Amino acid sequence: MRIFVALGTHPQQFDRLLKAIDELVEKKKLKADIFAQIGNSTYEPKNYAFKRFLSPKEYEQKMKNASIIISHAGAGSIITALKYAKPLIVVPRLKRFNEHTDDHQIDLANALAERGKAIAVFDTKDLLKAIRKAKRFKPKIKSDRAKLINRIKKFLDDLNEKMA
């Protein structure tokens, strides 16, 4: 199993997630080939490979080669993971841990989980359970765009009928 941890380029740290993964590996609860793009985090993993930032080409390659992607709830990371139809675990950055300026990532994580596009983890204690679930998880990558277009079309058709 190959896990890619993607923390994006956000200026604040996400040490909480990196430490949780390190702890799972150290306690031998998680056996995987793990690589993390840690961005501006201050914590440096001790039990798996990492790099602060990757070139776009390196980033795409890590996404393509991963069995599972663990990411902050940043739009860029999510879009890329879904593009490759990879099982995605989304851990929102939280204001109370000084990981972001507000808690908007909670809403995004909830929306993705509700639509079957990702597994949301709100407490890092649930990370191992989510990784086990991700091994069998198939993200729903079909866009909701077609549904929206059809609903708009039906609305316009109904409106035209009423006006005729």
- Structural domain spans, the chain: 2-163
Taking the C-alpha atoms of residue 119 and residue 102, their distance in angstroms, rounded to an integer, is: 21
User: What CATH number is given for 2-163 in this structure?
Assistant: 3.40.50.2000
Whole-number pLDDT of residue 57 = 95
Give the three-class secondary structure for 90: strand
Q: What is the pLDDT of residues 124-145, one digit of tens each?
A: 999 999 999 999 999 887 766 5
- Report residue 109 CA to chain centroid gap: 8
pLDDT of residue 148 exceeding 60, the answer is no
Whole-number pLDDT of residue 146 = 62
pTM score, whole prediction: 0.85
pLDDT of residue 88 exceeding 80, the answer is yes
Place 27 in a pLDDT band, splitting at 50, 70 and 90.
very high
Whole-number pLDDT of residue 147 = 64
Paired tokens of 133: 């679930």
